[in-house]
A and B are shown apart, each in its own frame.
Chain A
Amino acid sequence: MIVNAARRLNRAAGMIAGSVLIDSAMEHHRGYFHNKLMWTPIATSSLSIAASFHGHTDRRHGAHRVRDVIYALAGVTGIVGTAFHLYNVTKKVGGWSWQNLFYSAPIGAPAAMSLCGLMGFLAERVRDNEPGSKPTIAGVNAGRVVAALTGASLLGTTAEAGLLHFRGAFHNPAMALPVTMPPIAAGLLAVAAVGRARVPRPASRKWLAATAAMGVAGVAFHAYGVSRGMGGWRNWRQNAFAGPPLPAPPAFTGLALAGLAALALLAAYPDE
């Protein structure tokens, strides 16, 4: 069970890494890799996908050193990337303004890389527990730690979707879903993180599953958005880049999967 929970977290990290890889590849291609450092997320997210796949196939106990290094790299890349994107915003004419927040390098995007690293880190920490023991992270019940951090991560990703969907004036009612469903999921995870462990929480599980499905449906919604651009998909070289980002929504799926793993851990290893 410990290894299975860790593998679920590996898959969550891999899901987010896939989203980051395609998103950063498209957006940085759009920016012509003007700064050579723009290749960094391509490299770290590719490595994270490989590490996550490796973790998914690995059924042994114990943290894996190379996976740990890769996930740490992803976490650092996300933080450095956020700093770079902040700098990009401030050096634009007008500095800190809504205009530049909307149209400069997206501040929240590199953070997804860090979330991938965080989920991977949690995966390795869960896996590092002795077989048959009650898994802990830094002495705290692992399920509670994963639930709390995943909930906080969902709020961060919601902020990014909220900023960009606000830019899009929520012109399609479905655009309200990623700013309403994930915060509720985050709330449910927060309740689980501090609440009683032994309860099954079927409603929370269903809600997280729905949030995961929303991340997948988001790709379809964004594809529809691209088709609505002038020239539609035939004009994909403009619309896929200037329109809604196709690979962004599955970040929610990755986090929701991690939340489900947290609930499973809490149910299997109650600390009461």
Chain B
Amino acid sequence: MSDRSRYPGYDVLAKRETPSWDEPTRRAIDKRLHVSTAARFLTAAEWAGADALCRRILPQDEEGETVPLAALLDAKLFADHGDGFREADMPYMREAWRAGLAALEAEAKARYDGHSFAAISIDDQDSLIAMMQKGLLSAAHWPGLDAQRFFERRVLVDVPALYYGHPKAWSEIGFGGPASPRGYVRLEGDRRDPWEAAEAVSGQEEAARRLNQHVV
């Protein structure tokens, strides 16, 4: 956790063995922490493309601990737990991602001398993503899938959800994780339960850091 954090010294995983969490909570969170790093649904090429895309959607400080977004996406697609609904103009989750990643790959190869999406520069990746967002990509590479809709309904929904479902992101934003079994007592604004992250006031980061050493 960098010093710029608004919750200095806070690690949501310190709550693991406290009354805040019980066995089912720990099991659910452990599953996210120990996600398979070997592809189970995506091909190696799709994985590389998804990894590059995720890094541009949610850039992370590569020096520190990162959330393995490509691995989490692969696990999500492998498990195939959908949204519970499907919009009429969108394919099912698995097909949408497979088609979207293939289309991005084809766009990159067509525009950048046959280089795959993962291999082109970050600026080129960003301009491709921007064109996808604005609906400026050629329909030829997007059979059965609208590029703009793929960006809005899958990329912008799934990637942030995977990021903010991970304990590393919880520590970053001062989220306490599942309120199960222990919820909260002091529900008014700016009142803190002892098992909540302490937010730093500018200039008083040490006070918050001390509190965050004992979030139990």
Contacts and interface: CB of A to CB of B under 8 A. Distances in A.
Interface residues of B, number: 13
B17 to A, nearest CB: 12
Nearest to B21: A231
A237 B180 CA distance: 14
A235 B19 contact: yes
Given A231-B19, A235-B19, A237-B19, A30 B185 contact: yes
B22 interface: yes
Contacts of A238: 182-185, 193
A234 interface: yes
A235 B186 contact: no
Given A32-B191, A230-B180, A241 B185 contact: yes
B181 to A, nearest CB: 4
A174 interface: no
**Majority secondary structure of chain A interface residues (helix, strand, loop or mixed):** helix
B194 interface: yes
B185 to A, nearest CB: 5
B143 to A, nearest CB: 50
Interface of A: 30-32, 34, 230-231, 234-235, 237-238, 241-242
Given A231-B19, A238-B183, A238-B184, 16 more contacts: A30-B185, A30-B186, A31-B186, A32-B191, A230-B180, A230-B181, A230-B182, A231-B22, A231-B181, A235-B19, A235-B181, A237-B19, A237-B182, A237-B193, A237-B195, A242-B183
29 contacts: A30-B185, A30-B186, A31-B186, A31-B191, A32-B186, A32-B191, A34-B191, A230-B181, A230-B182, A230-B183, A231-B19, A231-B22, A231-B181, A231-B182, A234-B19, A235-B19, A235-B181, A235-B182, A237-B19, A237-B182, A237-B193, A237-B194, A237-B195, A238-B182, A238-B185, A238-B193, A241-B185, A242-B183, A242-B185
